[in-house]
Structure 1
């Protein structure tokens, strides 16, 4: 079985972070592992508290997993501080991880900051040069590209060019924040742009979509897909898990990570239930 490692924060509400990543890895049939960077107390409405782990503990988790079990692909999510980014980058470089997906998590859906401002530079200079792919949403792309606005395709293309100059091999800019009935994601590998279009799904339950999307790409890379194929397949998966998202809590509910499995088993994905 292929192996995927998530280096990210814990979401007590289960919709984002390592919980979302592990569910997504399971949906794709890869063996999921974690290196937890921070513990959060959060639900669908707010992030109430954040407790970061020590950089040494984060490094130890990565080292233990890679040395014994091994990895076929790695993704990063919430890294929180420059100190954590430094040790994560050092361990990934030491083990020469090739299939690295960086989700530059900066702000939660509720608005809480998940990456300190002084850590953004470390993310760009230490981690992006190691990555196969970075997956910013539009607000994150603005910061990484050093631009004032992204309001359409031409500005997304310019942002992708600028971000790739940071050393990452490919960029996926998620255009879900753009208005309109259609969603547009832009992939750039340094030579060609690939557009992924889809109909916007009307739902409030989008907590953890960024984590889930990057985890799906990570799983597919572990399975041997090339980057454009992995992005396209992950996007189709996202359409399903958002279409069948779960109206849990009083805020932004989670996506339904196992919806494709429930559908194949002819079980209502909104209800779930025993599959084995």
Structure 2
């Protein structure tokens, strides 16, 4: 039976991240991908700008999905406003335990919006308590758990354990090669099981969308019935291969998923 996965997130007009990458990942890992669009990322006067969709339209999308499909997994990405987070919180409360839910806590703020940042972070943490896994990168973790820059594996472990203790939700911290130059290092804990995932590093420049790819791949593998640890391990390898086969379609370069692991689910 075909597995059905849903991505709730933003549209990357450049085609390399957000729901575009999620759908490519879902398809490559043999799940049928659905979307609930929350916002659009566009360029305005050479600046990166996020345009949220009206909450009523997001609610209609969620209701349409719930009325039409039996889901096998959900990945949540950029939500863009507190009102949108509230809608997704309601969705997760209605569906908690029915299928795995992965939260990639994309935090895109302007420096001047300090109070909005804090209010938004509180809402994201409220949402994070309802999901099965949270997948922050280093910068996102430094905002979720305030402190100095994360510089080594001990910092990764300490900050992740702090967040898990607060949320009571498993967390995989994406370190990439910023912790160990020649290896990709991610750290997982649920405060019972802890595990470092260490893999090869690709030095190709085609890294746009890598974080979205990782969380979407975990969602897809879980939808196929793999364990969380195995899903994370396979997803780290999948992202490496996606970067290695990336397409330099514009300056940043996109991860690419064409026929990477068709038979590996």
Task: Give the structure-1-normalised TM-score.
Answer: 0.86
DSSP 3-state at the match of 2:167? coil
2:129 partner SS: helix
Structure 1: runs of 5 or more not aligned: 265-276
C-alpha contact (below 8 Å) 2:182/2:201 kept by paired residues = yes
Number of the residue aligned with 1:227: 228
Which residues of structure 2 form unaligned runs of 5+?
none
User: Shift in Å at residue 27 of structure 1?
Assistant: 0.3
Alignment correspondent of 2:154? 154
Cα distance change on mapping 1:256 and 1:262 into 2, 3 Å: farther
Report the Cα offset of residue 47 of structure 1. 5.5
**Structure 1 residue 146, shift from structure 2 partner:** 2.1
Q: Is 1:50 the equivalent of 2:50? A: yes
Question: Contact (CA 8 Å) 1:240, 1:259: kept in 2 or not?
Answer: no
Change beyond 3 A, Cα 1:70–1:261: same
Q: Secondary structure, in 3 states, of the residue corresponding to 2:16?
A: coil
Residue 59 (structure 2) aligns with: 59
Which aligned runs of 4 or more in structure 1 are off by greater than 3 angstroms?
46-49, 261-264
The match for 1:272 is none
1:106 aligned to 2:107? yes
Match of 1:130 in 2: 130
SS at match of 2:166: coil
Q: Report how many residues are paired.
A: 255
Per-residue CA deviations over 1:228-250 (Å, capped at 9, x if unaligned) read 01001111111111111111212
Aligned pair in 2 of structure 1 residues 199, 54: CA closer, same or farther (>3 Å)?
same
Cα drift, residue 159 of structure 1 = 1.1
- What secondary structure is seen at the aligned counterpart in 1 of 2:206? coil
Q: 1:148: Cα distance to partner?
A: 1.7
Native 8 Å contact 2:246 2:255 kept in 1: yes
Q: Note the aligned Cα RMSD (angstroms).
A: 2.3
Match of 1:80, SS? coil
